[in-house]
Amino acid sequence: MTRLADSVEAELDQDLARLRALRGDRGAFEALYRDFYPRLFEFVLRILGHPEDVEETINDTMLVVWKKAHEFRGESKVSTWIFGIAYKKALKRLKSNRRLAERELNIEAEQEDRRDPAETVSHRAAIERIRAAVARLPLAQRSIVHLAFFYGYTYPEIAAIVGCPVNTVKTRMFYARERLRPVLDLATDSETADERR
């Protein structure tokens, strides 16, 4: 086995052991909660768009993890199981509160930018066009794009999280890419034109 495969296997074993240790062990639960909170926060925020609702959704998710840890069958990674619960809880919250469906995450990583101001404006405009295009995707496609590109989940893992067949994930990704292609092509053309100057 390769070093990466050994590392992934060790991580899976560790997560599974931690999940099994939850039975009545508050310390184990708190450690699991702390480890998953940042990833869950970003993921759920991308679906709901409102931090107050995200907190409640994560708490609801982790309550299910606490109560049902003994029911985990090990058919997927622990993180896939937890993200699947979070996804379903977030969708439930969306349905119960329609105002959340229109909101989108508006976080931009702050990085030091040493390009000239004209380039910076052009680059930021391209990023905003891409972000807006992703925000306009239907929720099912948008969620898959986020899980694949921001969290690095594979199609089978995404299928387990969102509760659909792998081929459905592939189809949704295909249509998402098709919808994003004009915006991505425009952004690429804009950057190429800036490089020529």
The CATH number assigned to the domain with range 1-104 reads 1.10.1740.10
Joined together, the tokens standing for residue 63 give 């309550």
CATH number, span 116-197:
1.10.10.10
Phi first, then psi, for residue 76 (nearest 5°) are: -145, 180
What percent of the chain lies above the pLDDT cut of 70? Answer: 66
Q: How many residues does the chain have?
A: 197
Distances (CA, A) of 176 to 29, 101, 133, 169: 37, 18, 10, 10
Mean pLDDT, residues 169-179: 89
Q: What does the pLDDT read at residue 134?
A: 83
Say if CB 184 and CB 129 are below 8 A apart.
no
pLDDT digits (tens, 9 = 90+) for 115-160: 455 555 566 777 777 778 888 888 888 888 888 877 888 889 899 9
- CA 193 vs. chain centroid, Å, equals 32
What does the pLDDT look like over 29-49, one tens digit per residue?
A: 888 888 899 999 999 988 887
- Residue extents of the structural domains in the chain: 1-104, 116-197
